[in-house]
C-alpha cells in the first residue's frame, strides 16, 4: 500500500482505520503519534519517521517506532505488539542507542533504510541497495521489509535479523547454500536490548535441536526434533490448536519456525535476558500475556545436570535427581555424594566387542526420556528401528540407539539415531521417547548367567528381536515366581520366623532373601490386638508394640499410623520393605517381616531388650548412666559408626536422615543397632515442617538452611551423638555443647567434658576418649567438605594414626536454623514429636 494523501485517506482507508481505532483505542496515544497512523504501514523516500511517530501494520497488530526499554532513557527503534508496548519483537539499533529524541528513520537514495541520530550520523542501516526508489512496509506478520517501490522483490527484511523473539513465520536455523544462519540473542537486561549473555541456536548436527548457549556453554536444550515436536517439550501438544511447527530439513536448509493458526490470539517465543525461553500468548480478556511454555522448567532441564551417562528424574527427592544409567556408576562417587554430579557416570562392565557377529551384548529400554544430545550422533532416517538395532549391535562404537522419527513404524517410529560418544543431558519427561542402551550381558535384566541361545547369537537381528521378546518373557516369569512365592509364604508362614543370629563381623556380604510377609491376624495375636499395654514406643509416624510370636520369639511390631500414609503409600511401602530387607548388618536392627494388608502397613523387627541409647546416656537415674561404662560407650560409638558406614557404603548409598540416640537400640550385649534406617518417613505424608524430618540438635546446618541433604548430614548427626555419648548432655538443651567440647579438647582437658556420673576412665582410655572427641568435632564441622566420610571415621576410631585437627565449631550450631527457642519448646519439649521410634521405659 502506498502512502496516501491526507485528502484521500477518509475514503480509501476508512475501514482500515476503524479497525486501527478499535485496536488502538486503549492506547493513550498522543494526538501527534496518532496522526502518524496516517502513514499507515508503508512509507517511502521523502516521508521520514521521527521519534514520536509510528508505523502500524495494516491489521493493526504491530507497531514500529521509537521506544525506551524499562527504566532506560535511551531511544531505540523497534517493533512491538500494538496491544502491549512491552512486547518488543525486534530492535534495529540494539547496541547503538540514541541518547535523545532526535532520531529519525529515513530511506536513502541508495536504497537503504537508515536510522540517523540528531547530528545526521547513521546509527543503523539496512545495508540494502537499489538503483530505483525503495519503500518500507511493516507487514501484518510484524516483518519490516524494504523493497523497490511497487515491486514484490524484497531487498531486506527484519526476520532475517532476529533479536530475542521468534514470531510466527520467522525461522531459525541454517541455509547451507548461502551460509546464512538465524538465531535468537537475548537482551542484556530488561532495560538494555543490546546482545546479552544467551543465544538460542538450532543445532543442525544430528537431529535439529534448539540449544540455549551462555557464551560457549550449553544451558538448555529442547531435545531433538522427533517428527512432531522437540523431544523434551511435549507440552506443545497442549497448544497444537494454536500453532503449527514448521521444520524444514532439506539439503539446502535446516530451519525451524512456527505459524499461528488463523483466529488464534497473538503469541511469540522470547529468549529472556536470564536465558529462559518462553512462549507467551495474549489473553484478550485479562489484557495480559500468559506463559504457555517456559524452559528450562526444572532442575533436570539444566544441560548436562547429571553428566555423561547420568539420568535426571525431576520427580525424585531433591537429593536424588540424578542417577546413573543402568550398568553405570558415578565416575566420582565422592563428588556425586556432594551432589556434584557433573562428572557423570562410568560403565561398570565393558561391552563385548570381540567379534561383531558374536557379541553377547544386548539392550535395555529407557522409556519416556528426552533424548540425549544428538550433536555427535549419526542419524539415518531411511532405515527401520529394527535395522537400527542390528546396526548398533554390529558396530561396537554404538552405545545406544533410538528411532529418529516417532511417526510410523506401527507406533515404534522409524529411522535411526546412533550415539557413539557420551550420552549427555538425558532426563525423564512426560510422553518422552524410547531409547535403547547397549550393555554387556551381565548388566542386562535377564538372568545374568544364562547365555543367550547360540542360534540367535550368530544372527544379531534375531538376537535383538529375541532379546526383547525374551526380556518380556523373563519379566513375566519373574513376576509370576514372585507372586507364587508370596502366596506360598502367606499360606505357610503364620508368623515371622526368628532372625538369623547377627554375625559378629561387620562385613556381612550376602543380603538375605526378601523378608516374608505376615498375616495381620498373627500380628494381632502377637500384640494382644495392638493393646495399649504392649506399646513400647510411639512417634510421629508409627506406634511400636512388643509382640510375642507363637514360637515364643519377642519382636518389635511397628505399626504405621494410617492417617500419615500417603495415597501411594502402599507402593512405596513395598519399595521400602525391599530396600530394608536387603540391608543387613550387625549394627542395624534387622527387619524380620512385614504386613501390607488393606490399610495396614506394619514392620516387624528383632526385639531389643535394652531399648534405646537415650535412656542410658541422658537417663535421669544415674544408675542407667553408669550402666554404660567408658569401654561400652566407646564400643557403642564404634558400632554406630560401622552401621552408618555400611548404609553409606552400599551401592544405594542410603542416607539415614534421622540419626539420634533414640534411634539407636541396644541388644543384650549392649551392641548398638541403628533403627529406622528404612526412612519410613519417605512414604508418609510429606511434612513440610522440617522438624518432623529431622530432630533438633542433630541436623546439619546445611540441611537446616538450604535443605541440602547428603551423606555428610548423617556424619554431622553422628558427631553430635558421639559428643552426647561422651558428655551425657543433649545438644538440643545445651546449645554450647559443641563449642564446650572443642574448648575442652583444645585445652587438652577433655575430662571436663566427660559425663561425671560414669566412673573416671583409666589414662589409656582417656587418651582414646580424647581421640574420639577429636573425631566427633571433625564430624560436626560447619562445612560438609570438612567432615570425614563415615568409612574414614571407622578407620580413625579403630587405629591410632594421626588425623586432621578440627576447627572451632560455630558457637551455636543452630544459628540460622528455623529451630528458634520458641519452636523448640513447642515442638521438642518432650523430645518425642519428631521421634519415630522413641522407646519408653516400661
Ligand X SMILES: *[C@@H]1O[C@H](CO)[C@@H](O)[C@H](O)[C@H]1NC(C)=O
Binding to ligand X by CB under 6 A, coded x per residue (else -) over 239-278, reads ----------------------------------------
H helix intervals, 694-780: 701-706, 711-727, 737-746, 763-779
Q: What's the rounded Cα separation, in Å, for the pair 339 and 551? A: 47
Shortest distance in whole angstroms from residue 726 CB to ligand X: 38
Shortest distance in whole angstroms from residue 356 CB to ligand X: 7
Q: Tell me the torsion sign for CA atoms 352, 355, 360, 361.
A: positive
Give, as ranges, the residues between 540 and 599 that touch ligand X (CB under 6 A): none
Quick one: 260 or 322, whose CB is closer to ligand X? 322
Q: Is 600 in the site for ligand X (CB under 6 A)?
A: no
Closest C-alpha among 239, 249, 176, 243 to residue 209: 249
State the residue for C-alpha cell 556432594.
338
Contact pick of 108, 378, 508, 832 for ligand X (by CB under 6 A): 378
Quick one: 398 or 794, whose CB is closer to ligand X? 398
Quick one: 391 or 585, whose CB is closer to ligand X? 391
Shortest distance in whole angstroms from residue 270 CB to ligand X: 21
CB 593 within 8 A of CB 518: yes
CB 19 within 8 A of CB 155: no
Q: What cell numbers appear for 636 in the block? A: 557403642
Helix (H, G, I), strand (E, B) or coil at 311: strand
Contact pick of 68, 420, 514, 789 for ligand X (by CB under 6 A): 420
CB 337 within 8 A of CB 711: yes
CB 559 within 8 A of CB 530: yes
What one-character-per-residue DSSP string does 816-830 give?
T-S--HHHHHHHSSS
Query: Which residues form the catalytic set?
Result: 658
> Segment contacting ligand X (CB under 6 A): 421-429, 512-520, 731-739, 760-768?
421-429
> Segment contacting ligand X (CB under 6 A): 40-48, 69-77, 186-194, 276-284?
40-48
Shortest distance in whole angstroms from residue 80 CB to ligand X: 19
Q: Is 126 in the site for ligand X (CB under 6 A)?
A: yes
Q: What cell numbers appear for 254 in the block? A: 535446516
Give, as ranges, the residues between 315 and 344 that touch ligand X (CB under 6 A): 315-316
Quick one: 116 or 523, whose CB is closer to ligand X? 116
Per the DSSP assignment, residues forming a β-bridge with 379 are: 417
> Segment contacting ligand X (CB under 6 A): 184-192, 308-316, 604-612, 815-823?
308-316
Quick one: 459 or 759, whose CB is closer to ligand X? 459
> Segment contacting ligand X (CB under 6 A): 75-83, 370-378, 714-722, 789-797?
370-378
Quick one: 146 or 839, whose CB is closer to ligand X? 146
CB 103 within 8 A of CB 116: yes
State the residue for C-alpha cell 550450631.
813
State the residue for C-alpha cell 525461553.
277
Q: Is 313 in the site for ligand X (CB under 6 A)?
A: yes
CA end-to-end distance (rounded Å), the chain:
95
Quick one: 48 or 456, whose CB is closer to ligand X? 48
> Segment contacting ligand X (CB under 6 A): 253-261, 372-380, 438-446, 454-462?
372-380
Question: Which residues lie closer than 8 Å to 72 by C-beta, 6 or more apart?
Answer: 97, 191, 192
Q: Is 194 in the site for ligand X (CB under 6 A)?
A: no
Contact pick of 96, 375, 457, 489 for ligand X (by CB under 6 A): 375
Contact pick of 121, 127, 318, 820 for ligand X (by CB under 6 A): 127
Q: Is 104 in the site for ligand X (CB under 6 A)?
A: yes
Quick one: 356 or 807, whose CB is closer to ligand X? 356
Bond prior to 828 in cis (omega within 30° of 0):
no
Closest C-alpha among 613, 719, 722 to residue 661: 613
Contact pick of 291, 318, 397, 448 for ligand X (by CB under 6 A): 397
Contact pick of 39, 83, 106, 167 for ligand X (by CB under 6 A): 106
Q: What's the rounded Cα separation, in Å, for the pair 773 and 750? A: 8
Q: What's the rounded Cα separation, in Å, for the pair 415 and 721? A: 59
Q: Is 107 in the site for ligand X (CB under 6 A)?
A: no
Q: What cell numbers appear for 150 in the block? A: 511497487
Q: What cell numbers appear for 758 in the block? A: 560414669
> Segment contacting ligand X (CB under 6 A): 131-139, 420-428, 469-477, 702-710?
420-428
Q: What cell numbers appear for 350 in the block? A: 565393558
State the residue for C-alpha cell 542390528.
390
Q: What's the rounded Cα separation, in Å, for the pair 175 and 192? A: 30
Q: Is 421 in the site for ligand X (CB under 6 A)?
A: yes
Per the DSSP assignment, residues forming a β-bridge with 597 are: 600
**C-alpha dihedral over 37, 43, 46, 50, to 10 degrees?**
50
Helix (H) or strand (E) holding 62: strand 62-67
> Segment contacting ligand X (CB under 6 A): 286-294, 418-426, 539-547, 757-765?
418-426
Shortest distance in whole angstroms from residue 59 CB to ligand X: 26
Shortest distance in whole angstroms from residue 5 CB to ligand X: 14
Q: Is 292 in the site for ligand X (CB under 6 A)?
A: no
CB count within 10 Å of CB 11 equals 8
Quick one: 390 or 696, whose CB is closer to ligand X? 390
Quick one: 340 or 421, whose CB is closer to ligand X? 421
Question: Which residues lie closer than 8 Å to 778 by C-beta, 6 or more apart?
Answer: 719, 786, 787, 788, 803, 804, 806
Helix (H, G, I), strand (E, B) or coil at 196: strand
Q: What's the rounded Cα separation, in Å, for the pair 327 and 569? A: 29
Closest C-alpha among 75, 84, 81, 70 to residue 51: 75
Q: What cell numbers appear for 440 in the block? A: 554387556
> Segment contacting ligand X (CB under 6 A): 225-233, 379-387, 415-423, 733-741?
415-423
Q: Is 48 in the site for ligand X (CB under 6 A)?
A: yes
**C-alpha dihedral over 412, 413, 419, 422, to 10 degrees?**
-70
Quick one: 309 or 670, whose CB is closer to ligand X? 309
Q: What's the rounded Cα separation, in Å, for the pair 490 and 521? A: 12
Quick one: 434 or 768, whose CB is closer to ligand X? 434
Give, as ranges, the residues between 427 and 456 that touch ligand X (CB under 6 A): 428
SS3 content of the chain, % helix, strand, coil (to 5): 30, 25, 45
Per the DSSP assignment, residues forming a β-bridge with 601 are: 596
Q: Is 116 in the site for ligand X (CB under 6 A)?
A: yes
> Segment contacting ligand X (CB under 6 A): 309-317, 434-442, 649-657, 768-776?
309-317
State the residue for C-alpha cell 548423617.
714
Shortest distance in whole angstroms from residue 575 CB to ligand X: 9
Shortest distance in whole angstroms from residue 341 CB to ligand X: 15
Determine the size of the site formed for ligand X (CB under 6 A).
Answer: 25
Quick one: 93 or 662, whose CB is closer to ligand X? 93
From the number of C-beta atoms within 10 Å of its C-beta (0-12, 13-18, 19+), residue 12 rates as middle
Q: Is 364 in the site for ligand X (CB under 6 A)?
A: no
Contact pick of 44, 102, 108, 125 for ligand X (by CB under 6 A): 125
Binding to ligand X by CB under 6 A, coded x per residue (else -) over 761-800, reads ----------------------------------------
Q: Is 422 in the site for ligand X (CB under 6 A)?
A: yes
Q: Which residues bind ligand X (CB under 6 A)?
A: 46-48, 104, 106, 116, 125-127, 161, 313, 315-316, 368, 373, 375-376, 378, 395, 397, 420-422, 424, 428
Amino acid at each position: 500500500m502506498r502512502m496516501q494523501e491526507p485528502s484521500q485517506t477518509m475514503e480509501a482507508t476508512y475501514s482500515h482505520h476503524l479497525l486501527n481505532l478499535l485496536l488502538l483505542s486503549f492506547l493513550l496515544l498522543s494526538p501527534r503519534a496518532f496522526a502518524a497512523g496516517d502513514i499507515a504501514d508503508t512509507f517511502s523516500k521523502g516521508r521520514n519517521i521521527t521519534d514520536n511517530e509510528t508505523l502500524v501494520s495494516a491489521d493493526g497488530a504491530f507497531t514500529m517506532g521509537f521506544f525506551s526499554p524499562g527504566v532506560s532513557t535511551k531511544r531505540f527503534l523497534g517493533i512491538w505488539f500494538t496491544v502491549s508496548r512491552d512486547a518488543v519483537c525486534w530492535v534495529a539499533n540494539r547496541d547503538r542507542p540514541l541518547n535523545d529524541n532526535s532520531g529519525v528513520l529515513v530511506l536513502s537514495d541508495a536504497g537503504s533504510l537508515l536510522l540517523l541520530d540528531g547530528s545526521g550520523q547513521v546509527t543503523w542501516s539496512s545495508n540494502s541497495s537499489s538503483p530505483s526508489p525503495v519503500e518500507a512496509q511493516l507487514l501484518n506478520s510484524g516483518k519490516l521489509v524494504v523493497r523497490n517501490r511497487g515491486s514484490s522483490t524484497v531487498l531486506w527484511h527484519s526476520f532475517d535479523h532476529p533479536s530475542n523473539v521468534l514470531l510466527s513465520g520467522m525461522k531459525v536455523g541454517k541455509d547451507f547454500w548461502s551460509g546464512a544462519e538465524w538465531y535468537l540473542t537475548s537482551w542484556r537486561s530488561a532495560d538494555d536490548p543490546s546482545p546479552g549473555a544467551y543465544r538460542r541456536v538450532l543445532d543442525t548436527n544430528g537431529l535439529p535441536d534448539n540449544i540455549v548457549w551462555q557464551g560457549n556453554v550449553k544451558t538448555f536444550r529442547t531435545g531433538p526434533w522427533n517428527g512432531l515436536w522437540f523431544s523434551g517439550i511435549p507440552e506443545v501438544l497442549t497448544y497444537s490448536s494454536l500453532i503449527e511447527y514448521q521444520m524444514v530439513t532439506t539439503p539446502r536448509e535446516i530451519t525451524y519456525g512456527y505459524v499461528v493458526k488463523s483466529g488464534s490470539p497473538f503469541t511469540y517465543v522470547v529468549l529472556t535476558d536470564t536465558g529462559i525461553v518462553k512462549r507467551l500468548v495474549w489473553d484478550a480478556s485479562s489484557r495480559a500475556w500468559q506463559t504457555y511454555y517456559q524452559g528450562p522448567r526444572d532442575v533436570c532441564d539444566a544441560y548436562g545436570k547429571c553428566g555423561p551417562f547420568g539420568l535426571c528424574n525431576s520427580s525424585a527427592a531433591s537429593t536424588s535427581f540424578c542417577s546413573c544409567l543402568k550398568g553405570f556408576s558415578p565416575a566420582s562417587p565422592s563428588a556425586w555424594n556432594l551432589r556434584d554430579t557433573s562428572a557423570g557416570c562410568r560403565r561398570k562392565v565393558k561391552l563385548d566387542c570381540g567379534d561383531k557377529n558374536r557379541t553377547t551384548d544386548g539392550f535395555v529400554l529407557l522409556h519416556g526420556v528426552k533424548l540425549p544430545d544428538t550433536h555427535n550422533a549419526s542419524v539415518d532416517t531411511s532405515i527401520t528401528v529394527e535395522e537400527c538395532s542390528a546396526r548398533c549391535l554390529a558396530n561396537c562404537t554404538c552405545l545406544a540407539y533410538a528411532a529418529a522419527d516417532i511417526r510410523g513404524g506401527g507406533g515404534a517410529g522409524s529411522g535411526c539415531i546412533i550415539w557413539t560418544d557420551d550420552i549427555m543431558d538425558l532426563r525423564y519427561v512426560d510422553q518422552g521417547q524410547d531409547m535403547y542402551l547397549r550393555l554387556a550381558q551381565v548388566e542386562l535384566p535377564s538372568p545374568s548367567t544364562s547365555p543367550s541361545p547360540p542360534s540367535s547369537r550368530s544372527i544379531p537381528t534375531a538376537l535383538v528381536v529375541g532379546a526383547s521378546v525374551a526380556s518380556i518373557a523373563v519379566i513375566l516369569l519373574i513376576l509370576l515366581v514372585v507372586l507364587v512365592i508370596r502366596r506360598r509364604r502367606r499360606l505357610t508362614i503364620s508368623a515371622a520366623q526368628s532372625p538369623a543370629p547377627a554375625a559378629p563381623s561387620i562385613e556381612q556380604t550376602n543380603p538375605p532373601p526378601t523378608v516374608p510377609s505376615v498375616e495381620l491376624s498373627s500380628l494381632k495375636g502377637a500384640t494382644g490386638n495392638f493393646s495399649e499395654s504392649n506399646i513400647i514406643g510411639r512417634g510421629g509416624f508409627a506406634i511400636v508394640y512388643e509382640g510375642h510370636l507363637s514360637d515364643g520369639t519377642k519382636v518389635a511390631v511397628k505399626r504405621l499410623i494410617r492417617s500419615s500414609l500417603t495415597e501411594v503409600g502402599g507402593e512405596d511401602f513395598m519399595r521400602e520393605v525391599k530396600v530394608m530387607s536387603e540391608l543387613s548388618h550387625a549394627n542395624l536392627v534387622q527387619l524380620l517381616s512385614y504386613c501390607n494388608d488393606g490399610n495396614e502397613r506394619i514392620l516387624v523387627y528383632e526385639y531389643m531388650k535394652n531399648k534405646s541409647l537415650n535412656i542410658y546416656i541422658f537417663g535421669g537415674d544415674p544408675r542407667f548412666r553408669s550402666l554404660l561404662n567408658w569401654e561400652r560407650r566407646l564400643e557403642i560409638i564404634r558400632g554406630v559408626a560401622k552401621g552408618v558406614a555400611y548404609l553409606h557404603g552400599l551401592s544405594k548409598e542410603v542416607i539415614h536422615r534421622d540419626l539420634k540416640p533414640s534411634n539407636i537400640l541396644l541388644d543384650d550385649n549392649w551392641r548398638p543397632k541403628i533403627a529406622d534406617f528404612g526412612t519410613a518417613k519417605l512414604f508418609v505424608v510429606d511434612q513440610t515442617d522440617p522438624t518432623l524430618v529431622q530432630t533438633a540438635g542433630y541436623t546439619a546446618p546445611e540441611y537446616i538452611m538450604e535443605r541440602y541433604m547428603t551423606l555428610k548430614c548423617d556424619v554431622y548427626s553422628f558427631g553430635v551423638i558421639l559428643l552426647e555419648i561422651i558428655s551425657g548432655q543433649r545438644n538440643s538443651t545445651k546449645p554450647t555443647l559443641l563449642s564446650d567440647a572443642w574448648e575442652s579438647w583444645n585445652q587438652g582437658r577433655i575430662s571436663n567434658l566427660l559425663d561425671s556420673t560414669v566412673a573416671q576412665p583409666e589414662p589409656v582410655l582417656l587418651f582414646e576418649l580424647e581421640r574420639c572427641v577429636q573425631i566427633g568435632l571433625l564430624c560436626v564441622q560447619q562445612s560438609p567438605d570438612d567432615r570425614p566420610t563415615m568409612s574414614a571415621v571407622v578407620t580413625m576410631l579403630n587405629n591410632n594414626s594421626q588425623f586432621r585437627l578440627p576447627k572451632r565449631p560455630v558457637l551455636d550450631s543452630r544459628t540460622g536454623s528455623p529451630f528458634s527457642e520458641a519452636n523448640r519448646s513447642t515442638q521438642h519439649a518432650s523430645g518425642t514429636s519428631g521421634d519415630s521410634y522413641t522407646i519408653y521405659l516400661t
